[in-house]
Amino acid sequence: MKIVSTNEIYNKYSTEVDFLREDNRYWSQIEKIALDIKNKSQTHPILLLSGPSGSGKTTTAQRIESILEDYGVETHTISLDCYFSSLPKELVGKVDLESPERLDSDLLAEHIDRLLKCEEIELPEFDFVNTRQLKSGIKVKRKPSEIIVFEGIHALNPDATPVLEGESKMYISVRSRVEYGNGKLLHPRYIRLLRRMSRDMRFRGREPIDTLSYFKSVEEGVDKFVSPYKIYADYSIDTFIEYEPLVYRDEMLAKLLATRGKATGEEEKVLELLIEFLQSYEGKNPNLVPEKSLIREFIGKK
């Protein structure tokens, strides 16, 4: 299997992959960015971290926070999911849930402005069950030396997140294409789909067919509202980890084969594509994945 990145072409894939080496390759890039953010902290105390669903935003934001705190820089990470606007239940399924209009952009702009001024805010909280925005009771007040990380799919979209002085911008996504079979290339969006299937199955009680049913709308949202704004990023990172298809392979292939007959139309085509891809090589034990790997966001802890 050969992996073709936007930045490089990997040699023939080895099944004797060094898992720790591959993770360190990614985290070393993040450490360099964190150091740059630290050095700009007096003028750019806000980091906006964006990327499509399945990019690894949560783990990457947490790692940046950890690195900065090791440097002695107090850091707070806030998910933009907190800023979803209340939605009457009768409108669920009738509005575009991927649109930046779902965010309470006025409240977000106010909070970013107040944090830049070192004023206290109370974070909102979104009740996903009842689709309502609530007050969390959690107060945040940035000290002059501290950094705030806002992470979410719309972090770089000016229709959702204000463009103010004092912000650094980061975009992460799977950018690599994986060669399999007879010279075929798997688009990065399908790696993100495999990540979401694995995560949803473990943490959200969804079967792969459920995740697959949202695939088209999620990717349309990425194309319209997320990826066009990556050009504004100060930092852009490919989050693909070379060994990850191997650790999804055995469990996901069994699940997808059991899903045959339940998908139709375009969903069936995507299902068969993933089956063909996973059948093209042998899997690896997920327990080989390092505990602090980005991939643990999608496969869980040991």
The whole-number pLDDT of residue 16 equals 55
Q: If you average pLDDT over every residue of the chain, what do you get?
A: 89
The count of domains in the chain is: 1
- Pinpoint the alpha helices (H) of 105-204: 105-116, 188-203
pTM of the model: 0.91
For residues 54 and 244, give the distance between their C-alpha atoms in angstroms, rounded to a whole number. 13
Residue 1 in this model has a pLDDT that exceeds 90: no
Which residues, at least 6 apart from 258, have a Cβ–Cβ distance to it below 8 Å?
none
How is residue 83 annotated by DSSP? G
The whole-number pLDDT of residue 4 equals 42
CATH code at position 136: 3.40.50.300
The whole-number pLDDT of residue 30 equals 96
Task: Specify whether the CB–CB gap between 58 and 151 falls below 8 A.
Answer: yes
Segment 242-265 mean pLDDT: 94
Provide the domain limits for residue 219: 2-299
SS3 labels along 180-210: ECCCEEECHHHHHHHHHHHHHHHHCCCCHHH
The whole-number pLDDT of residue 95 equals 58
User: Nearest CA to 262 among 219, 185, 301, 207?
Assistant: 207
pLDDT in tens, 115-151: 999 999 999 998 877 888 888 889 999 999 899 999 9
The whole-number pLDDT of residue 9 equals 36
